Amino acid sequence: MRKISWLSFMMTLLLSFYACEKDTINTETIVTIQMNMPEGYSDYSKDNYEVTWTNLSNQRSTTTKTDDAGIAVTTLSDGIYKLDIKGESKNAAGTDLATFQASETQIAVSGSLKTLTVNMEQVILNDGFLIREVYFSGSKTPNNKNYFQDQYIEIYNNSGETLYADGLSIAESMNTSSVTTNLWGKFLPNTVAVGTVYTVPGTGKDHPVKPGESLVIASMGINHTAENPNSPVDMSKADFEWYDDHNMDTDVPEVPNMIKYYSYSNTIWIMHNRGHKAYMIFKSDIPMDQFIQKNTISTLSPSGSETFAIGVPNHLIIDAVESAAPNGPEIKSLPSGLDKGYTYCDGAGSGLCIKRKTARTEGGRIILKDTNNSTEDFEVNAKPSPLTK
C-alpha cells in the first residue's frame, strides 16, 4: 500500500513538473521583412543588407541578410523587439553608391507567422556642424532641488574650413519618447515636428566658427558653479543664450540672445531633464518668419483639441540626436535616416550629459564620429566639457 502511494506521488510530481515546463516553453515566430526603398531609389540593389533583431527583454540579438529582392526571413522567440536594417546599394547603372537604413522599436512578435514592410531611408552624413554635447539633465542644489538653469547645447565645426553660424537654429522635438501616444509620427519621415525654434542672429558672416571649434548655446549665460556648487559648468563664456522674455527668466546682458521664433511653452523653455526628446540643428532656406508661417503644422490631441508645432523638412536638418530612457524609446521623434539609434542619461539632476565620441584626430584637430546612429556615436552619462578641445 505504501509503495502504491509513493508511486502515485511521484507520478503526480512528474506530471506537475512537465506541465510547468510546458507553460514556460517559448513559442517561435517566422518573421519576414520586405525592404521598401525610398522614392527615386527603386533601381538600387537590395541584397546583402544586415538585418538585426534585438529582444528588448534580454538584449539578445539575431542577425541575418537580405536577398536580391530585399527580403530577410528570421525565426524568433516571441517577445518585443527592436529592428535595425542597414546597408549600401548601387543604382542599376553602377554610377552611384548610397547608404540606407531603417529602425523600428517595440515590435511585438507572436504567432506562427509575421510579415513586415520596412521603409528604408537614405543616410546623409555631413562634415559640417554637428551636435557635440547636450546637457539637459541639469544638477541638484545643496537642498536637493532641481537646478535647470545650467542646461546647454554645444555645436561643433567638424569640417576643415570656417563655417558661419548665422541663421543656424536649434530645436526640440514635440514627441516625447517615453510615451506611447505618437501624435506627430504621421509627418515622418519627411518632416520632424518640433516645439521650439531658437536661431543664431546675423546677416550671413557675423559669427564664424573655425575648424575644430564650438558654439555653445546656454539656457543662462552665467558661471553656474558660483550660483550652485553642484553645477558642473561655467556658462559665462557661452556664445549665446536662449532667452524667454518672461519674469521667470533672467537676461544676461554679457551673452547675446538667440532669436526666439517659436516655443510651445507660454513661460520659459526648459529642456526635458530626463532627455526624452530629440534635439536638432537646421538652417532655413527662406527668411525665418516666412519659414514659421509656412511650416506650422497641427494634429489632434487625445482630448480632441488641435495642437500646433513647426514641421522642419528633413532635408534642412543638418544634425540630430534622439535621446530616450536607458531602455530605449517607446516612439521615435526622428526618422532613421537622421538617427537610427538613441542615447541617454540615467536621470534628472545628474549633472551629466550626452557627448559625441571622437572618431580620430587630424593635425591636432578632433574629428567627431558621425554615422547617424546615436547609439554608436554618443557617450552616455558623460561628464560635461563644453568648449574644450
Q: Would 174 be classed as within a structural domain?
A: yes
> Given a cut of 70, is residue 66 above it in pLDDT?
yes
The Cβ-side half-sphere exposure at 116, using a 13 Å CA radius, reads 25
Does 4 map to a domain? no
Q: Which candidate, 180, 185, 130, 119, places its Cα nearest to that of 156?
A: 130
**Overall domain count for the chain:** 2
- Among 193, 182, 24, which Cα is nearest to 104's? 182
Say what the pLDDT of residue 112 is: 87
Share of the chain above pLDDT 90, in %: 82
- Given 122, 151, 167, the domain boundary residue is 122
Of 122, 140, 169, which residue sits at a domain end?
122
Residue 24: pLDDT above 60? Answer: no
In a domain, 388, yes or no: no
On whether both 316 and 338 belong to a single domain, the answer is yes
Single out the residue in 71, 92, 122 at which a domain terminates: 122
387 lies in some domain? no
> With contact defined as beta carbons under 8 Å apart, do 288 and 299 qualify?
no
Is residue 71 assigned to a domain? yes
First to last CA, the chain: 86
Indicate the pLDDT class of residue 172, thresholds 50, 70 and 90.
very high
Could you tell me if 139 and 255 lie in one domain?
yes
User: Which grid coordinates belong to 38?
Assistant: 525610398
Looking at the fold, whether 90 and 204 belong to one and the same domain comes out as no
The reported pLDDT for the residue numbered 8 is: 58
> Per-residue pLDDT for 371 more than 70?
yes
Report which of 225, 248, 250, 246 is spatially closest to residue 237, judged by C-alpha positions: 225
Taking all residues of the chain, what is their mean pLDDT, rounded to a whole number?
92
Residues 253 and 109 in one domain: no
pLDDT score for 22: 42
| pLDDT for position 5 | 53
Residue pLDDT, tens place only, 104-149: 888 999 988 999 999 998 887 777 999 999 999 999 999 999 999 9
Q: Worst-scoring range by mean pLDDT, 24-33, 76-85, 249-258, 364-373?
A: 24-33
Q: Burial letters for 252-291: b for 16+ Cβ neighbours within 10 Å, e otherwise?
A: beebbbbbebbbeeeebbbbbbbbbbbbbbbbbeeebeeb
Q: How sure is the predictor about 16, in pLDDT bands with cuts at 50, 70 and 90?
A: low
Does 148 lie in the same domain as 118? no
Contact 133, 355 (CB under 8 A): yes
Is residue 18's pLDDT more than 80? no
- pLDDT per residue over 209-244, tens digit each? 999 999 999 999 999 999 999 999 999 999 999 999
3 state SS of 47: coil
pLDDT for the residue 319: 97
Task: Give residue 62's domain range.
Answer: 28-122
- Asked which of 21-25, 280-284, 311-315, 352-356 is least confident by mean pLDDT, the reply is 21-25
Same domain, 141 and 264: yes
Neighbours of 59 (CB within 10 A): 9
Going by C-alpha positions, the residue among 258, 277, 275, 186 that lies closest to residue 220 is 258
Output the CA torsion 235→241→243→247 (10° steps). Answer: 10
- Alpha helices by DSSP H, 157-252: 224-227
The answer to whether residues 173 and 53 belong to one domain is no
Give the pLDDT score at 262: 98
What percent of the chain has a predicted confidence (pLDDT) above 70? 93
Q: Quick one: which of 160, 161, 131 has its CA closest to 362? A: 160
The Cα 213–Cα 137 span in angstroms is: 24
Tell me if 374 is assigned to some domain. yes
Residue 19 belongs to a domain: no
3-class DSSP state for residue 316? helix
CA distance 351 to 382: 9
Least confident among 8-12, 288-292, 300-304, 381-385: 8-12
> Does one domain contain both 241 and 117?
no
| Alpha-carbon separation of residue 120 from 30, 33, 175, 251, 338 (angstroms) | 21, 12, 21, 45, 12
**Per-residue confidence (pLDDT) for residue 70, from 0 to 100:** 95
Q: How many helices, marked H, and strands, marked E, lie in the chain?
A: 4, 28
Mapped onto helix, strand or coil, the DSSP state of residue 347 is coil
Tell me, yes or no, whether 63 and 186 share the same domain: no
pLDDT value, residue 132: 98
SS3 of 293, please?
helix
pLDDT at 123: 84
pLDDT tens digits, 257-297: 999 999 999 999 999 999 999 999 999 999 999 999 999 99
CATH number at residue 41: 2.60.40.10
Asked, for residue 3, whether it belongs to a domain, the answer is no
Please say whether the beta carbons of 343 and 363 come within 8 A. Answer: no
Same domain, 297 and 258: yes
Looking at residue 307, what is its pLDDT? Answer: 95
Residues 45 and 144 placed together within one structural domain of the fold? no
**Is residue 145 located within the same domain as residue 77?**
no
